[in-house]
């Protein structure tokens, strides 16, 4: 099903510590400024150019000309290893973890083909922003993060290769370049057997697909069949095994800014007790007027049922995005209610990824911010340029 391939990537000539950054959509403006100040070559100069998309394209060309970015010598895939420590939280123990990812390129196909499965709804604004950046740079600057089944054993058996090590955000990262033809083919075969679930990057996937169609149409009209449109038909992808012990998914809590607060439910004594009660069951918690309550829900995915059974009923025909705020910090949600920023907070446990995959296979999508995967893979490890003269293998 999924078509992944080795590719000739662009990489930084300098050490990675000062030039990588978190994905574009998790950074606020203050953080963008901080990463810009870290290095004149930090990848945020490309991934967060404000409205100066053409400037980002010119900067990419300049970095190539100056040797800031260099082409790899031959097509490769990459093994990405992240070592980190998770803090304890209600119902979950903390401790050291290791996650293995595959960095490759993936053929773009419409969702309807069932090869790449979305699980969240998207909004138009971010898609327009990323499309303008794609047009200007003609490159994938950040990977889409996807989940697969049965990949971890192959990653554990990956052959040796050139490695780059760097520290980032309190984590230890290792990026290994892999060119062994037999292993690459084994990976391609394994990933062709089942669909991939998007973890992060729904907007970027949809944008990349739209851009590929643009390029294909443009080249067809110009009589330039397969002159770049083939390369643009792939996107940079980071793929993790759904069962990887280092794959951490965190809940995102909701604040209802206005409207009628929910009533009923089972009263609970404290936030910590409530969060423990949410783990492993279809339920949500709520906080209003100084009291915590547990709300039993029917269904497999609590976040979906919270919206269907509670929030949608409270808001009626009103758009939930106009009335909801989000945080991964449950204590912050309580403070927001106490300070009058909202009428109620809703708490969720970590979603069951098997249930998320099942829903995606059935064509169901979840509300915005249903999942938060941690830690985010840093942007800037390897870039993928569509220009075939730059060495794309597609």
Domain assignment present for 198: yes
Across the range 264-289, mean pLDDT stands at 90
Question: Strand 163-168 vs strand 10-12: parallel, antiparallel, or unpaired?
Answer: unpaired
CB 36 within 8 A of CB 45: yes
Across the range 299-306, mean pLDDT stands at 88
pLDDT of res. 130: 93
**Same domain? 98 vs 86:** yes
Which helix (H) or strand (E) segment holds residue 208: the answer is helix 202-221
**Same domain? 193 vs 280:** no
Question: Strand 139-140 vs strand 291-296: parallel, antiparallel, or unpaired?
Answer: unpaired
Domain assignment present for 212: yes
**Same domain? 100 vs 191:** yes
**Same domain? 217 vs 331:** no
CB 343 within 8 A of CB 334: no
Mean pLDDT score across all residues of the chain: 90
- Answer yes or no: is pLDDT of 392 > 60: no
CB 118 within 8 A of CB 204: no
**Same domain? 265 vs 319:** yes
pLDDT of res. 176: 98
**Same domain? 240 vs 259:** no
**Same domain? 174 vs 275:** no
Range of the domain at 135: 4-248+374-390
HSE-up of residue 348 (Cα within 13 Å, Cβ side) = 27
CA of 344: how far to CAs of 67, 218, 278, in Å? 53, 51, 17
Who has greater pLDDT, 319 or 137?
A: 137
pLDDT digits (tens, 9 = 90+) for 316-374: 778 777 889 999 899 999 999 999 999 999 999 988 888 888 888 888 878 888 888 99
Give per-residue burial for 179-206: e unless 16+ CB within 10 Å, then b: beeebbeebbebbeebbbbbbbbbbbbb
**Same domain? 182 vs 234:** yes
Residue in 334, 315, 182 with CA at minimum distance from that of residue 254: 334
For the whole model, what pTM was predicted?
Answer: 0.90
CATH number of the domain that residue 65 is part of: 3.90.1530.10
Number of compact structural domains in the chain: 2
**Same domain? 228 vs 119:** yes
Confidence of residue 225 (pLDDT cuts 50, 70, 90): low
């Amino acid at each position: 099903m999924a078509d992944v391939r080795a590719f000739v990537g662009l990489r930084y000539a300098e050490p990675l510590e000062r030039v990588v950054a978190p994905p574009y959509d998790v950074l606020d403006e203050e953080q963008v400024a901080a990463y810009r100040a870290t290095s004149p070559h930090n990848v945020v100069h490309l991934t967060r150019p404000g409205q100066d998309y053409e400037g980002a394209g010119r900067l990419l060309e300049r970095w190539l000309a100056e040797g800031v970015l260099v082409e790899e010598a031959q097509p490769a895939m990459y093994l990405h290893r992240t070592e980190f420590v998770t803090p304890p939280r209600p119902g979950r123990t903390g401790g050291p973890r290791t996650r293995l990812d595959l960095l490759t390129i993936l053929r773009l196909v419409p969702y309807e083909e069932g090869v790449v499965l979305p699980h969240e709804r998207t909004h138009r604004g971010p898609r327009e922003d990323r499309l303008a950046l794609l047009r200007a740079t003609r490159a994938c600057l950040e990977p889409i993060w996807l989940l697969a089944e049965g990949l971890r054993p192959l990653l554990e058996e990956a052959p040796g290769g050139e490695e780059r090590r760097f520290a980032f955000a309190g984590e230890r990262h290792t990026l290994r370049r892999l060119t062994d033809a037999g292993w690459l083919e084994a990976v391609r075969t394994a990933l062709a057997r089942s669909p991939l679930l998007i973890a992060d990057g729904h907007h970027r996937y949809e944008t990349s697909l739209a851009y590929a169609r643009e390029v294909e149409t443009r080249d067809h009209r110009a009589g330039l069949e397969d002159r770049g449109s083939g390369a643009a038909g792939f996107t940079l992808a980071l793929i993790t095994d759904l069962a990887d012990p280092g794959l951490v998914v965190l809940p995102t809590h909701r604040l209802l800014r206005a409207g009628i607060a929910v009533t009923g439910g089972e009263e609970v004594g404290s936030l910590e007790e409530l969060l423990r009660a949410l783990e492993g069951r279809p339920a949500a918690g709520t906080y209003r007027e100084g009291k915590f309550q547990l709300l039993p829900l029917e269904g497999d995915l609590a976040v979906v049922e919270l919206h269907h059974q509670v929030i949608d009923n409270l808001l009626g025909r009103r758009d939930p995005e106009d009335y909801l705020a989000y945080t991964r910090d449950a204590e912050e949600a309580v403070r927001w209610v106490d300070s009058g920023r909202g009428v109620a907070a809703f708490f969720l446990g970590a979603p069951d990824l098997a249930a998320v995959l099942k829903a995606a296979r059935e064509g169901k999508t979840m509300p915005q911010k249903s999942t938060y995967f941690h830690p985010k893979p840093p942007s800037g490890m390897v870039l993928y340029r569509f220009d075939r003269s730059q060495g794309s293998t597609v």
